[in-house]
Every structure is written in structure tokens, then in C-alpha cells.
Amino acid sequence: MGISIRSVGAYVPSYVETNHDLARQINTSDEWIRSRTGIAQRYIIAPDQSTTDLAYGAARAALEAAGRPDIDLLVVATATPDRSVPATAPRVADRLGISGIPAFDVAAVCSGFVYAMAVTEALMRTLARSRALVVGADAFSRILGPDDRSTRAIFGDGAGAFLLVADPDSEEVLLGRDLGSDGSGHDLITRPSSGSASVIDHLAGLQPYFAMSGKAVFMQSVRAMVQSSENALKDAGRTASDVDLLVPHQANLRIINAVADGLSIPVARAAVNIDRVGNTVAASIPLAVHDALRAGKLRAGQTVLMTAFGGGLTWGSLVLSWPDNVAH
């Protein structure tokens, strides 16, 4: 039995916030944001929407592209669930008109989609599931400090989804995997005062806004993504020179360039959409894949390397052989 990809779906909210819009609200400029991050605009969730709406939009797009097959497993990667209790996935399943199936969230922040793909693949085998939706969805605009220019410049909202299918005729798509974490850096990317440590955080005077030590994270993220990519390529029996398309987490264009450089992969072989969507956290990789498919940059038979790094700290990479006829 092989596990393949049948379709890819994407959803972004309708409101576009440009760098110029941001510069009218906080002390920043289009020039600073473009030159330091490569971002020109990002999408922001509507006041009456939540992460469930984003995840539902991407899941429905993937299902419709594939002709609405029955689903028997749903996994949502998110760090911004609608509420800390319950998870987002059961509600997304309900919105899709599905009940009774296993549905749960994976929390690995920007590495969430890579983790969710690896978890879903394994569960499809052990639970004998034949059609699974893996969704990456985040609404970081909801947790950013209104005056925090270093995070408001970067993060945007959105969701992406893959429909995985398992059947005896499918070629194996996932060739190599690598996942890792280092909890000693848990406070470098964090949202204090939002969980069971709220009382402790409150006593320490921490605000309930997302906080990132950007500089400290920058170099670690490059090193971790290069090392993790090499581990996944080794697991797949491939080398970086075999990679036709690198799909890096879209955190910062300078990080994307440094990862490509560290792997000696020409940057022309990297999927880049950060200019349009910003850093969409768990949605970043599936949204970049969706854009690459639409641009004709991702074709059957190509070797694809996905790599991500984020809060936790966490990192993960996947090597795939891109299948035929992926609908989008």
C-alpha cells in the first residue's frame, strides 16, 4: 500500500494588509519590511472569522478539487486554535459534514504542517485509513501585540490542506522524514499568559501577546533547517543535488536564501510566496506548495524537499516524490 497526494487546497482571508497600510498604524516602513523580510503584504482574518474558518476553507478546497471523496481522518496543525479547549479539528470535520472520524490538532507552531504530515502518514497505516485531510491553519494576527512592529510586519493569516490517499495502486510519495525539538528555547517564540502557566506569567508581568526573539531565532533556524533537510535527504537515499523544488517555511526571505545556500540548492529552485502572504506559520508550506502548483513550478516526478523551523523550538523536513495528477 502506498500513500499519495490527491489534491491541495488553499484559503486566505479577503482583506489584504500592505506594508503601506501597516506604516500608517505603527512605526515602520515598506522599505524596512521589504529589505529585512521580503514581505510586501499579508492577509488578515475578518473580525467574524476564526482559525476554524481558515481550516475549513482550505479543507473544502482540497475536497472539491478531488471530487468530494469520503474522508476518514482529519488532522489540523495550528498554534492558534479557536480556543485552548477543545481542539479545532473536530469542529472543522463537523463543518465539512463529517462525524465519527478521528480528528485532532497538532501543535508544533511553524513546523506544524511537517509534523502533521508525518503523524497522519503513520496513522493511516496503523488505523488502515484510506483518505485523510492534513490542514495547516493559523490566525496569528489575533495574538500579536498591536504595537509590536517586529511581529506585525511578518505574520499573516491563512490555511492550506493536502488530501492524502492510501491504496494498493498508489506509488509511495513520502521518501524521507526528519523531526526534532529543543525545549530549552521554549521562550524564544512564545505566547505568554495564554495557558496553564498564565498565573505565573501574570506575576512575572508578561503581556498576553506573541513574542519572538527574532535575532536569536534567525541563525538557529537556518542551521536547524539545513541539518534537518540533510537528515531527511539521507533517510530518503537522496542528496541535495536531487532536489527539484525546495519548499522552505516562509519565515523571512533572507532565511530562505540562507537555507538554499547552506544546502547548495540554487534559490531559483525554491518555492517563494512570502512576498504575498508573509509568515503564515502552519499554513506556510501548503500555501507555498499551492502557489508552486498554480505557477507550474511543481510537476509530477519531481523530488521535493519541505523544511520548517519554529516555536518549541521544533523543526522538521520531508522528502517527497511529487505524484501525477494532483488537483488544486
Q: Residues 255, 283, 298, 304: which binds ligand UT7 (CB under 6 A)?
A: 255
CA distance 217 to 99: 40
Q: Where are the beta strands (DSSP E) in 187-259?
A: 189-190, 211-212, 245-248
All three cell numbers of 38, joined, read 521580503
- 328 touches ligand UT7 by CB under 6 A: no
- 252 touches ligand UT7 by CB under 6 A: yes
Kindly give the pairing relationship between strand 41-44 and strand 15-18. Answer: antiparallel
Q: Residues 251, 260, 263, 271: which binds ligand UT7 (CB under 6 A)?
A: 251
- 110 touches ligand UT7 by CB under 6 A: yes
Kindly give the pairing relationship between strand 245-248 and strand 303-310. Answer: parallel
- 32 touches ligand UT7 by CB under 6 A: yes
Active-site pick, 249, 252, 273, 290: 249
Q: What phi and psi, each to the nearest 5 degrees, are found at residue 59?
A: -65, -45
**How many binding residues for ligand UT7 (CB under 6 A)?**
21
Q: Is 186 annotated in the active site?
A: no
CA distance 323 to 285: 17
Least gap, CB of 71 to ligand UT7 (angstroms): 29
CA distance 7 to 328: 6
Q: Is 325 annotated in the active site?
A: no
Query: Please, which residue, 63 or 255, has the CB nearer to ligand UT7?
Result: 255
Count the helix, strand and coil residues of the chain and give each as a percent rounded to the nearest 5.
Answer: 40, 25, 35
Query: Please, which residue, 7 or 252, has the CB nearer to ligand UT7?
Result: 252
Q: Is 328 annotated in the active site?
A: no
Q: Residues 18, 28, 181, 194: which binds ligand UT7 (CB under 6 A)?
A: 28
- 78 touches ligand UT7 by CB under 6 A: no
Q: Which stretch binds ligand UT7 (CB under 6 A): 31-39, 72-80, 91-99, 265-273?
A: 31-39
Active-site pick, 19, 231, 252, 279: 279
Least gap, CB of 7 to ligand UT7 (angstroms): 26
Cis? peptide before 313, omega within 30° of 0:
yes
Site for ligand UT7 in 275-314 (CB under 6 A): 279, 309-310
CA distance 55 to 9: 10
In this structure, the number of other CB atoms found within 10 A of the CB of residue 83 comes to 11
Would you give the end-to-end CA distance of the chain in angstroms? 24
Query: Please, which residue, 174 or 222, has the CB nearer to ligand UT7?
Result: 222
CA distance 93 to 158: 18
- 108 touches ligand UT7 by CB under 6 A: no
Least gap, CB of 309 to ligand UT7 (angstroms): 6
Least gap, CB of 258 to ligand UT7 (angstroms): 11
Active-site pick, 19, 110, 231, 273: 110
Q: What residues act catalytically?
A: 110, 249, 279
Binding site for ligand UT7 (CB under 6 A): 28, 32-33, 36-37, 110, 149-150, 153-154, 214-215, 217-218, 221, 251-252, 255, 279, 309-310
